[in-house]
Amino acid sequence: MTQQDNSNKYKPVFSKANMPLTMQYLGGKSRIVDNIFDSIKQSFPEVNTFVDLFSGSGVVAYQASHLGYRVIANDIQPYSACILRSLLKKTSDNMRPLILRLEKITNSELFSKNREEYLQDFLVEDDFFNKAFEENFNWKEYEYFCNNTVLIDGTRAEANRLSKEKPWTLFLAYYRNTYFGVRQCAELDFLKELSFELSENIRDQLDACIISVMTDCVSSTTHLAQYLKPSSEKSAYNLLKKRKKSLINETIKRLNSISSKPFIQDADVYNLDFRQALKILPQYKDMIIYADPPYFKEHYSRYYHVLDTYIIYDYPELTFNKVLGKTTVGRYREGRLVSPFGKRSTAKSAFEVLLKQSISKRAKLVISYACSSIVDLSFFKELSETYKIPLIIDEFNLVHTGQGQSRHKSVTEYLLKFDIK
């Protein structure tokens, strides 16, 4: 077993500008993706097939594709699988007609059909947009408007009724003046309706671009676990500025970016639990399994539940706070995915399954992990000794922001390289 500090040896050169679809993503590897591949090449130069088992925003898989690896990417979250298909699979259809269609959309179209009942809310919001930076703007009026927005309670019965009687109004009914503004919610509902008129390939491209836009334009901090409220003059101005941004215009920019992205080679994309993905994984010679599982107790399905809801568009039942006697503040969907890596009681056995499956595939295993209160570094050393697999440990020192707060935290990210023969 060897351990080395590569925090100064490897210098990041990967740029988000190279990514056609960027995301605000917790635990994203854009800062150290080049470090990761330098380390992998140093230890396993013969590898030519790269399996990204928890692919998330797709940064690592996308870089692997550009470095010439045969890529297999997997993630259990529906929104992530959509992003991966857009980044890693060939775009066979021309997107120009879609872009031209989006450029011509009017407010009348956005608030047509069942969405028309929300037109009055949009007109009020639009008036706030126009007055926001006038000298006598009263931000308290905007606070009142947002706090008194009537939203669906999210019971199963109410969700079923809305789905049948008011199709293509999910975001307006569930989320206006929370994670997104009124017009933005109408844009999301309109775009989802429009997507079903498109080929499956183009629909994937459109949905992926929208997911990217949602993470940038959300009325939140660095994730979508809880939305911001206009609780002060400054926060009201900031929210109005964010909500005035057109999601459609931002989507057009990303569609243009996707259209011009260089294509390297087609990848395989799975949308499976990691155990299922490992089970069906082909056994290639010189293969590496790269695993970047969650390393904190809060699950990704909580942070990105709104993105999954957009992809699935299923009018979900919402979680209920029994103490407060109402829908939870974050308006989370029921039945969210829970990772075994996020719980102390199950994480160690999950890592052992991961190692055993890698051994059965005769694949190198590389785990990217910031050892936390769930699993510490000594556990991986014990695994190495138990299974008699050589372990090489690299480490990178990072500074993480405090999820929208001013505090910063130093974190050591480990690259745990199991040299399976």
Give the per-residue pLDDT at 17. 45
- 276 with 380, same domain: the answer is yes
pLDDT greater than 90 at residue 27? no
pLDDT greater than 80 at residue 298? no
In this prediction, what percent of the chain has a pLDDT beyond 70?
89
The pTM of this model reads 0.90
374 domain-assigned: yes
Q: What confidence tens digit (pLDDT) does each residue in 171-229 have?
A: 999 999 999 999 999 999 999 999 999 999 999 999 999 999 999 999 987 667 789 99
- In this predicted model, which residue has the larger pLDDT, 262 or 409? 262
- 81 with 180, same domain: the answer is no
Q: C-alpha 139: how far from its chain's center?
A: 32
65 domain-assigned: yes
- 186 with 202, same domain: the answer is yes
CATH number at residue 278: 3.40.50.150
Amino acid at 176: R
Domain stops at, among 209, 229, 259? 259
β-strands 49-52, 287-291 pairing = parallel
| Domain enclosing residue 292, as ranges | 2-89+266-299+341-418
- 46 with 67, same domain: the answer is yes
Give the per-residue pLDDT at 373. 76
Give the per-residue pLDDT at 339. 87
Take residue 166 and report the two structure tokens written for it. 């008011």
Confidence of residue 8 (pLDDT cuts 50, 70, 90): very low
Measured between alpha carbons, how far is 216 from 223 in angstroms, rounded to an integer? 9
Mean pLDDT of 345-373: 93
Give the per-residue pLDDT at 234. 94
Give the per-residue pLDDT at 404. 47
- 276 with 406, same domain: the answer is yes
Q: What confidence tens digit (pLDDT) does each residue in 302-320 have?
A: 678 999 999 999 999 999 9
Q: What confidence tens digit (pLDDT) does each residue in 75-93 have?
A: 999 999 999 999 998 876 7
- 221 with 205, same domain: the answer is yes
Q: What confidence tens digit (pLDDT) does each residue in 42-65 have?
A: 999 999 999 999 999 999 999 999
- In this predicted model, which residue has the larger pLDDT, 27 or 378? 378
Measured between alpha carbons, how far is 18 from 14 in angstroms, rounded to an integer? 8
Count of residues for the chain? 421
Measured between alpha carbons, how far is 116 from 150 in angstroms, rounded to an integer? 16
Q: CB pairs under 8 A, 24+ apart, for 7-12?
A: 7/395, 7/396, 7/397, 10/34, 10/35, 10/38, 10/39, 10/396, 11/35
- 80 with 110, same domain: the answer is no
End-to-end CA distance of the chain: 15
Name residues whose C-beta falls within 8 Å of residue 44's C-beta, 6 or more positions apart in sequence.
288, 364, 417, 419
Domain stops at, among 259, 277, 311? 259
- 196 with 74, same domain: the answer is no
> Whose CA is closest to 352, among 265, 413, 257, 275?
275
Q: C-alpha 371: how far from its chain's center?
A: 22
pLDDT greater than 90 at residue 231? yes
Domain count, the chain: 2
